[in-house]
Amino acid sequence: MIWPGERVRMMARRAGWLLRSLLRLRPRHWRALPLACTVALSDVLFRFWRRAPSPSADALDWGQGLSVVIPERGGVDLLGTCLQALHTALATIAEPVEVIVVVNGSARQDYAALAQQYPLVRWRHFDQPLGFTRAVLQGVSLARHGAIYLLNNDMALAPEALRSAMAWRSARTFAVASEILFPDDGRRREETGWTFMPVVDALPRPYHAELPDSATRSTVWAGAGSALFHAGKLRELLPACLPFDPFYWEDADLGVRAWRQGYQCLVCPQSQALHLHRVTVNRYYAEAEVERIFERNRLLFQLRNPFPRVSLARTLEHVAALDPRSQVELGGWAACIALWQTRWRAFHAPERDLCYDRMTRGIPLQPLHAPPVLMVSPFAVLPPRHGGALRTQRLAQALSAEFPLVLLSDEAELYADRSDSSYQPFAAVHLISGRPELPEALAQDRVARMGNHAHAALRAELQELVRWYRPRAVLIEHMELAELVQLDLHPRPPLLLNLQDVLLQPDDPGQASADRHERSLIEAFDARVVCSPEDQALLGDIDSILVGNGCDAALAADYRPSSGRNILFAGPFRAPINWEGIRAFVDQIYPRLLAQIDGLSLTIVGGPGARERCAAEAAFGHPSIRVLESVDSMRELLAEAALAINPQPQLRGSSIKVLEALAAGRVCVSTAAGARGHRQHGFPGLRVCDRREEFAPVLTELLLDEPRRRCLESPRPDLLAGCDWSHCAQPLIELLRRAARAAAS
């Protein structure tokens, strides 16, 4: 709490600092004094009288229909090409459409032929030049429909451009930019539609980047010459762009103010616009004047959008360094009052502290029409290459039928191209990296691992996404991220912990301290999920919901009776229990099997680095052993195998590969630990060995007695129905329903 006396002292210190900053202005800078005072006073006063950000803006209703607005000045030939391409693109739209051309500063008779050729176009003529924003405002005021596409006359839309952009209309989307292409004439693509806004030396340095793939992405702003906008929000925000007239920076300011209100801007590569010709403003303005206006508006943009924060002293230096004409234009009473009001709105906007870098991280995959469930994973999960990732992705698949889902995940560098089908359940994906290296001495320290995985970058991103999406619930995957429950989230949605492994060790006194820490975190969540009865028992009196691991029951449809004598093991070596289990099997069991069974072979799928690791162990050098690092699908390997094994010496949670083998019609020989969570299903094909030494006789019998093996392996649809992911997910779906209802009430 700040006491009144302390507030007065803080105010006095800031006022003194402000006075010293203003006194640095030399007499030659006095013409900048009104602007400098406006900036400095607003910076101090608005930060002193802090208020909570205003509530998040209402959901946008786009309604029906599309209006295309084209501001036009002196480009008749280009406009003809533009309208021709536009006519083709409009033919793909099944909603009402209209085209409005605002001709300003050009003779009416120059457009008579085009008006005759396109009789449905609505023409508005002004003898005097209006400037970009005023011309667009004239067209926007006439538009009848809920979506407005702003189109420059030097752009030719691809046939699917409008339909692709309109597919991304949603309650939180303000604008959808088309990807900008250039004729293949060797020019560098200075414009692409994917925009960034770094701030260097207290001034913005905007640029366009090449889109790396075909995924729609979030962008800082949507260029006002080839983008779709929500009509109502555009009418609300666009008039405040008039201080940027006659050109430059108005669309960047428009996009950033929309972000601050809680609406996103996207760029859609399936919507493309060909930039035919760079119609430069140098036809009407001298080059020096163009540069002056650009720099004036660059500083104006920074002054109007003071977040991310920059040094006030540095900002005042830029004000003093302005061209004298620009100082007069920005320092008038009307201009200073407008700037004061704009900065006030920026300081109290719902998303005031949005960072330009974060604006471009989001990868929306589907339009989002309702608050989502936010899933958070410490590990890469798309495509799923290990059991934990498979559980996350398959549960997401089941949940997505009822809830929109957003994924936040670490290990961004391990994710596949966004075109991979495993992304299908998610409406958006946010990927980060930057987890610090954990010293090897702490690798087995549970408390250290939790702190390392819940690192600062992930915490900051989660806080940002909770504020942005207002999710109905947050589902934290894995105990490694349990410390995220300690975050001060505003608003605070229900926090659910999906314990894929319960790591408590009540029988080990040396782990008592770690257990206490872990239990305190687990208890702090609003609800907990476990994946096996054994894990549930470890929680004792802590309430939890059992959401068992499942399988794709459809695997049984591809069943082919087993043949041959190939043994299959799948398990990434990054999990020590997989490496320990298969190494002990190859050292102790496999040589005995080779001595008794002709034609025996072993296939190991061990994940990245598996070949190198096995090469260092002599036992893996036998020619009958094949080591793979990754495969796109396990189906073919299961079809080739006679049976599967799971020799894990210990386990928490439960092993998905056991159920996958059984669903595909393959016997699985497992340790008791490896069969955790599955014995109660009653599958005949699950053979459990209480001691590792039992593997050799059991495998020998099954590999040599093919009829017996085939009898055991035959898929059981009655048992598989209860293990399908869609069935397993039902308790989690019901839990999320209850959490959403509780949050709403």
φ, ψ of residue 21 in degrees (nearest 5): -65, -40
Contact indicator for 279, 155 with CB cutoff of 8 Å: no
The pLDDT value given to residue 699: 97
pLDDT band (50, 70, 90) for residue 20? low
Rounded to the nearest integer, the mean pLDDT of the chain is 90
Say yes or no: 266 and 169 in one domain. yes
Say yes or no: 518 and 630 in one domain. no
pTM for the full model? 0.83
Say yes or no: 575 and 635 in one domain. yes
The pLDDT value given to residue 467: 86
C-alpha distances in Å from residue 331, one per residue of 139, 217, 246, 293, 305 = 30, 38, 17, 15, 17
Residue 742 lies in a domain: no
The DSSP annotation for 458-501 comes to HHHHHHHHHHHH--SEEEEESGGGGGGGGS--SS---EEEEESS
Sole residue written with tokens 């459990």: 688
Q: Which of 19-28, 71-80, 605-614, 685-694 has the lowest mean pLDDT?
A: 19-28
φ, ψ of residue 719 in degrees (nearest 5): -80, -35
The structure tokens listed for 223 are 């260029």
The pLDDT value given to residue 1: 39
The pLDDT value given to residue 2: 42
Q: Is 627 helix (H, G, I), strand (E, B) or coil?
A: strand
The pLDDT of 502-511, averaged and rounded, is 91
CATH number (domain holding residue 252): 3.90.550.10
Say yes or no: 232 and 247 in one domain. yes
The pLDDT of 481-494, averaged and rounded, is 92
CATH number (domain holding residue 433): 3.40.50.11720
The pLDDT of 497-504, averaged and rounded, is 93
The pLDDT value given to residue 276: 84
Say yes or no: 71 and 43 in one domain. no
CA dihedral 393, 492, 53, 466 (to 10 degrees): -10
The pLDDT value given to residue 7: 55
The pLDDT value given to residue 64: 95
CB hemisphere CA count around 381 (13 angstroms): 30
Contact indicator for 281, 287 with CB cutoff of 8 Å: no
DSSP character at residue 281: G
Contact indicator for 425, 405 with CB cutoff of 8 Å: yes
The pLDDT value given to residue 81: 94
Query: Which tops the pLDDT comparison, 9 or 222?
Result: 222
The structure tokens listed for 715 are 């898929």
Query: Which tops the pLDDT comparison, 24 or 231?
Result: 231
Picking from 469, 427, 492, 408, the residue whose alpha carbon sits closest to that of residue 56 is: 469
Distance CA 75, CA 192 (A): 22
Share of the chain above pLDDT 90, in %: 69
The pLDDT value given to residue 62: 97
φ, ψ of residue 267 in degrees (nearest 5): -125, 130
Give the bridge partners for 405, in sequence order.
373
Q: Which of 306-315, 325-334, 566-575 has the lowest mean pLDDT?
A: 306-315
Contact indicator for 146, 166 with CB cutoff of 8 Å: no
Q: Is the pLDDT of residue 387 over 90?
A: no
The pLDDT of 18-30, averaged and rounded, is 55
Q: Is 398 helix (H, G, I), strand (E, B) or coil?
A: helix
Considering 546, 568, 592, which residue would you say is the last residue of a domain? 546
Contact indicator for 497, 522 with CB cutoff of 8 Å: yes
How many structural domains comprise the chain? 4
Q: Is the pLDDT of residue 144 over 60?
A: yes
Which stretch of DSSP H or E encloses residue 528? Answer: strand 527-530
Residue 735 lies in a domain: no
Q: Is 256 helix (H, G, I), strand (E, B) or coil?
A: helix
Residue 382 lies in a domain: yes
Q: Is the pLDDT of residue 192 over 50?
A: yes
Say yes or no: 234 and 341 in one domain. no
The structure tokens listed for 297 are 């508006």
CATH number (domain holding residue 643): 3.40.50.2000
Q: Is the pLDDT of residue 53 over 60?
A: no
Say yes or no: 373 and 233 in one domain. no
Distance CA 78, CA 274 (A): 12
C-alpha distances in Å from residue 561, one per residue of 661, 666, 667, 682, 708 = 13, 8, 11, 20, 12
Say yes or no: 142 and 272 in one domain. yes
pLDDT band (50, 70, 90) for residue 191? confident
Residue 743 lies in a domain: no
pLDDT band (50, 70, 90) for residue 275? very high
C-alpha distances in Å from residue 159, one per residue of 93, 168, 272, 507 = 10, 17, 9, 68
Q: Is the pLDDT of residue 30 over 60?
A: no
Picking from 309, 322, 244, 292, the residue whose alpha carbon sits closest to that of residue 35 is: 322
Say yes or no: 351 and 375 in one domain. no
Q: Is the dihedral of CA 377, 382, 388, 394 positive or negative?
A: positive
Sole residue written with tokens 């796109």: 632
Return the amino acid letter for 478.
H
The pLDDT of 72-86, averaged and rounded, is 93
Residue range of the domain that includes 214:
66-279
Which stretch of DSSP H or E encloses residue 272? Answer: strand 264-275
Considering 546, 569, 591, which residue would you say is the last residue of a domain? 546
Q: Which of 15-24, 104-113, 462-471 has the lowest mean pLDDT?
A: 15-24
Residue 57 lies in a domain: no
The pLDDT value given to residue 51: 59
Q: Is 115 helix (H, G, I), strand (E, B) or coil?
A: helix
The pLDDT value given to residue 432: 92
Q: Which of 13-17, 212-216, 693-697 has the lowest mean pLDDT?
A: 13-17
End-to-end CA distance of the chain: 30
Distance CA 256, CA 305 (A): 8
Q: Is the pLDDT of residue 280 over 60?
A: no
The pLDDT of 645-672, averaged and rounded, is 93
How would you classify the pairing of strands 428-431 and 363-364?
A: antiparallel
Distance CA 399, CA 114 (A): 53
Cis peptide before 491 (omega within 30 of 0): yes
pLDDT band (50, 70, 90) for residue 419? confident
Residue 74 lies in a domain: yes
Say yes or no: 401 and 527 in one domain. yes
Say yes or no: 703 and 565 in one domain. yes
Q: Please list, in sequence order, all residues whose beta carbon lies within 8 angstroms of the beta carbon of residue 662, skipping any fewer than 6 positions away.
A: 551, 668, 678, 683, 685, 686, 715, 720
Residue 61 lies in a domain: no
Distance CA 483, CA 473 (A): 17
Picking from 67, 137, 65, 144, the residue whose alpha carbon sits closest to that of residue 102 is: 137
The pLDDT value given to residue 14: 58
Distance CA 602, CA 569 (A): 8
Residue 730 lies in a domain: no
Angle formed at CA 612 by CA 611 and CA 614, multiple of 5 degrees:
65
Q: CB neighbours (10 Å) of residue 82?
A: 25
The structure tokens listed for 205 are 């340095």
Say yes or no: 605 and 571 in one domain. yes
Q: Is the pLDDT of residue 18 over 60?
A: no
Considering 338, 360, 382, which residue would you say is the last residue of a domain? 360
Return the amino acid letter for 4.
P
